[in-house]
Structure 1
Amino acid sequence: MAISIQYWANYTAEKPKLMRKSDNAVISNHVLKFLFDQETKTIHSVIQASMRNTSYKVTANLGNSYEVSNTSCECPLGKYECHHVASALLYGYKCVSKTDIKCGWLKNTKTSIKKDIKTMEE
């Protein structure tokens, strides 16, 4: 689990309809794409609309104290709290795998070339 359930709980606090709709979207496999960047603590996701043949791009920035600091969604309610963002947060808790987390290259690899090695001729 890469994302704490606390982000979803704080985002949907005292909004049972938002909780229910986001849970239904995750159960119904409406989360089409999901990527979590640990460095910037940003979620990029694509969520299928519940009653249409449409999908919406979702972005959510996670804060340090389990708050969602900034969100965007292409849906009509995207400027406010929508269930697509809540679905991405819940999916990040329930279904995230290592392949959903953006990889970064290590700066100091374990197999780096040693400088003190000499060739046969030396």
Structure 2
Amino acid sequence: MSKLTAVKIRNLVNVGRPVAIADGGGLTFTLAATGTASWVLRYRFGGKSREMTLGRYPDISAKKARELATEQRAKIQRGADVARDKQKTKVETASAKSFRQLAAHYMDKVFPTLAPSTVIQ
């Protein structure tokens, strides 16, 4: 299991070429052509290859990425498709924000035109 060090990671980022370097256990450090560096967990679920971004470097250190990967692998072992679950949560959060925004807009625009007794109801 090859462990990336902080120095190796900084050198990869400074070079700036797109790379994907495995750290072991499905954890991969990726650097895009745009310069965005991320930690990605690669795994198989239901016979298919899956990927889940754990976070961006330097926001997430190598140590923290390894901890997150271990947590996610445990969930995978229990039968969870962590990438699908993360996407589902993301969609639900976006929907909730949209509803909150819609409700706030409605209250700002419509409530002032209603009778006080209607607003109370």
Asked if TM exceeds 0.5, the reply is no
Q: RCO higher in 1 or 2 (8 Å CA, sep ≥ 6)?
A: 1
**TM-score bin (small chain):** under 0.3
Higher Rg? 2
More helix by share: 2
Please give the TM-score of this superposition, normalised by the length of structure 2. 0.27
